[in-house]
Structure 1
Amino acid sequence: MVRVKAERLREIGEAIFTALGLSEEAASFLVETLVEASLTGHDSHGIQYYTRYAERIREGYIKVDAQPRVVKETPTTALVDGAWAPGQITARKVTRLAVEKAKQHMVSAVGAYNCNHIGRIGYYTQMASGQGVIAELFVNVGHPIVSAHNGFGPLFGTNPFSLSVPTEGAPPFLVDYATSMVAAGKLSFAASKGARIPTHWARDAEGQETDDPEVLGKGGWLLPFGSYKGYGLQLCCELLGAVLTGSRTGIDPRQEPPSSNGVLMVALNPEAFVGLQPFKEAAGALLDHVKSSPSLPGREVLVPGMPEARVKEERLRLGVEVPETTWRAITGLCGELGVDATLK
């Protein structure tokens, strides 16, 4: 492992993506989302994407000069054509619109299609809750690597879901997870470390249990989490994130661009109900009570958002541990682009 400070990861990332043609502002935001993912322990959606996004830019899948635009709008809704810009830029536009409309009209729903991979989706719901709005995000991934419940073979993407609410104090309440057993990036991260995976995550091409982190490239697939319950939420993300927005579904024979996302954010303004401050206070009191409730011996009761906050505090202090193979790939890319990747 190579330990790298967050600020140095940002500097290197911004230099990479500006060298690839992004504006300084777009590169800065894109890199911020990836470094934040690494800082909060979501390495599967972190700086390992420097090289993957660079490859997609070079292949023409990510359009560095494209700008997402609103193609349909009402006072409380909007539909955004992402124009295959960097997915993070599209997701930011969706979030800004959803928050603005919810603040003005108390409720909103904003979708996007022609959208590249947006990264860790909890970044955007937390962005909204930080502005006093409850936000939930339904996302489909138009690249099938997950089976249906009791199914043989891949049918859907990892289809993540997120919800965040404003609360008193920190960290915020944040739910963010793939509807597969794990995100696909966790397999590639395991492979980069030379590790095996738990056998309940995936099946091989014959439908058998496997601990091979490279199984997805060998005809295997991930399983939905939580049996039929996770499968139900997986379908919700497919119907709302893709079908409703006109995005590519998992059953679509088209597979390019890779890992496209269909996105739908729904936002609620607490002022339409009990009011923002009373909501934050009551939510904070509820979560504090949950955290202080009795736990099993040797265990601790946590609420969503706490593990990420703890990891971030540690990694801000000590730096982010990057697998050797990932760091070599990043420095190799830097060498091609004339970017200084020395650790200062």
Structure 2
Amino acid sequence: MKRIAARLLEREIVSLLVTWGMPETFSRTASHVMVETDLRGIDSHGVGMIPFYAEAAREGRLNLRPNIAVLHERQSALLIDADNGLGHPAAVMAMSKAIGKARETGVGIAGVTRSRHFGAAGYYAQMAADAGLIGLAFTNSTGPLAVPTFGREPFLGTNPIAFAAPAARNPSLVLDMATTTVAYGKITIARRAGKPIPEGWAVDEEGKAVTDANIAAKSRRLTPLGGGRSSSGHKGYGLALMVEVLCATMTGANKSAGETGHFVMAINPLSFGEDGAFEAGLDRLIDLVHGLARQDLDQSVLVPGDPEYAAYEERIRLGIPLGMTLLEELRAEFVRSELPFYLG
């Protein structure tokens, strides 16, 4: 394990993406989203995705020079074509435009079609919260991973849901969750570390629970949030299907062609009350939750976003920890691109 300064990591990833042929503006956006994601402790969706993106680019599944454009636009909604490029630049554009519309009309909604992986959904939801608005961000994914209730074959992706809301005294409340029990990136992290996974995360081809990360990575069958029907897994599956409708059915993203769709929304609290009233109310709610009786006296009751803020404070100070397996995978991509490797 080695810790890398965030800005060094961001700069080096920009260099790599530009060398692949991606425009510098898109490269800077994608790299920033990835590194900010790692700073928040979401290692499954940060620079650890670079080997996956590199393979997609080599196989022609990723357009490195996309023409990102608005296809349709109305007063409070729009649809963006990502032209099969990395999803980060298109999703940042989508939420930025949704924020602008929410300031004018009270709500802004943006869909993105013909996209690829966009990293962590929470980043885009928090964009809205940082602007003083409530944010939601969803995405579907093309690779079938989630096994539907009563099914044996994977059908849906991890289809995450993110929600963020601004407070005044407290950090924003930020929820970012897969609709599977875990994101597939957690399986990858365990495989790289040579560690087992908890029972209930994944199943094999026969539908039996597995704890070997290598077997789970090969079978690519994740349980929906909640697990089986007896433990309410049908609820996670239902949420995943909702995300699929909003991100693919509504945007027109063609999953069979490898296309991903995204859905973001910004809501202006001023549409519902006086300036500052929402933030003050959320502060009271957060304080109330933190003040509830604890299982452990050294650990306050969790509010969504707490672990990520703690990780950010530590990692901005000490650097982002990268495992040796990931460092070697990154080194291989830099060598393949004929770039010096300054990260390890």
TM-score (norm 1): 0.93
Q: Which residue is equivalent to 1:70?
A: 70
- In 1: Cα distance, 2:6 partner to 2:245 partner: 37
SS in 2 for 1:9: helix
1:29 — aligned with what? Answer: 29
Displacement after TM superposition at 1:134 (Å): 0.9
User: Cα deviation per residue 1:257-291 (whole Å; 9 max; x = unaligned)?
Assistant: 3xx42111122111110134111111112111211
> Is the contact made by 2:95 and 2:265 (CA closer than 8 Å) also made in structure 1?
no
Bigger Cα displacement from structure 2, 65-74 vs 293-302: 293-302
Residue 230 (structure 1) aligns with: 236
State the 4+ residue runs in structure 1 displaced beyond 4 angstroms.
none
- The corresponding residue for 1:241 is 247
Instruction: Tell me the residue number matched to 1:310.
Output: 310
Report the equivalent of 1:85. 85
Letter aligned with residue 234 of structure 2: Y
CA distance in 2, matches of 1:53, 1:114: 16
CA contact (8 A) 1:68 1:93 kept: no
The Cα offsets for residues 219-252 of structure 1, whole Å up to 9 and x where unpaired, read as 3500001222212211111111111111234xxx
SS at 2:283's partner residue?
helix
Question: Following the alignment from structure 1 to structure 2, what is the Cα–Cα distance between the partners of residues 142 and 56?
Answer: 13
State percent identity of aligned pairs.
32
Give 1:172 shift. 1.1
What letter corresponds to residue 315 of structure 2 in structure 1?
Answer: R
Aligned equivalents of 1:219, 1:97: Cα separation in 2: 39
The structural deviation recorded for 1:59 is 2.4
Go from structure 1 to structure 2 and tell me whether the alpha carbon gap of 1:290 and 1:143 turns closer, same or farther (over 3 Å shift). same
The alignment partner of 2:140 has SS state of: strand
How far is the alpha carbon of 1:343 from its aligned partner? Answer: 4.4
> What is aligned with 1:301?
301
> 1:234 is matched by which residue type in structure 2?
A
Match of 2:97 in 1: 97
Distance 1:223 1:54 in 2: 28
Count, aligned residues: 337
Aligned to 1:287: 286
Which residue of the partner structure matches residue 319 of structure 2?
319
Quote how far apart the aligned CAs of 1:336 are. Answer: 2.1
1:161 aligns with 2:167: no
- How far 1:311 moved relative to its partner? 0.8
In structure 1, what is the Cα distance between the partners aligned to 2:30 and 2:61?
A: 16
**Matching of residues 1-344 of structure 1 within 5 Å:** 1-226=1-226, 227-249=233-255, 254=256, 256-257=257-258, 260-298=259-297, 299-343=299-343
Q: Relative to structure 1, is the Cα distance of residues 106 and 92 closer, same or farther in structure 2, using a 3 angstrom cutoff?
A: same
User: Is the contact made by 2:51 and 2:333 (CA closer than 8 Å) also made in structure 1?
Assistant: yes
Structure 1 residues 138 and 343, CA, compared in 2 at 3 Å: closer, same or farther? Answer: closer
How far apart are the structure 2 equivalents of 1:275 and 1:125? 22
2:191 partner SS = helix
Q: How many Å apart are 1:194 and its aligned residue? A: 0.9
SS state of the match for residue 276, structure 2? helix
- In 1, the alpha carbon distance for the partners of 2:274 and 2:68 equals 33
Distance 1:94 1:265 in 2: 7
SS, match of residue 222 in structure 1: coil
Identify if the C-alpha distance between structure 1 residues 343 and 329 changes in structure 2 by more than 3 Å, giving closer, same or farther.
closer
TM-score by length of 2: 0.93
CA shift digits 1:98-149 (9 cap, x unpaired): 1111111111221111011000010001011111111112221122111112
Q: Contact (CA 8 Å) 1:63, 1:86: kept in 2 or not? A: yes
Q: Following the alignment from structure 1 to structure 2, what is the Cα–Cα distance between the partners of residues 240 and 343? A: 39
AA of the residue aligned to 1:284: D
Which amino acid letter does the alignment assign opposite residue 21 of structure 1?
Answer: G
Letter of the 2:268 partner, please give it.
N
Runs (5+) with no aligned partner, structure 1: none
Question: Retained in 1: the 8 A contact 2:139–2:159?
Answer: yes
Give, in angstroms, the shift of residue 157 of structure 1: 0.7
Q: Which amino acid aligns with 1:264?
A: F
Contact 2:291-2:300 within 8 A present in 1 as well: no
State how far apart, in whole Å, the 1-side matches of 2:107 and 2:37 are. Answer: 28
RMSD (Å), alpha carbons: 1.6
**Contact 2:107–2:265 (Cα < 8 Å) also in 1:** yes
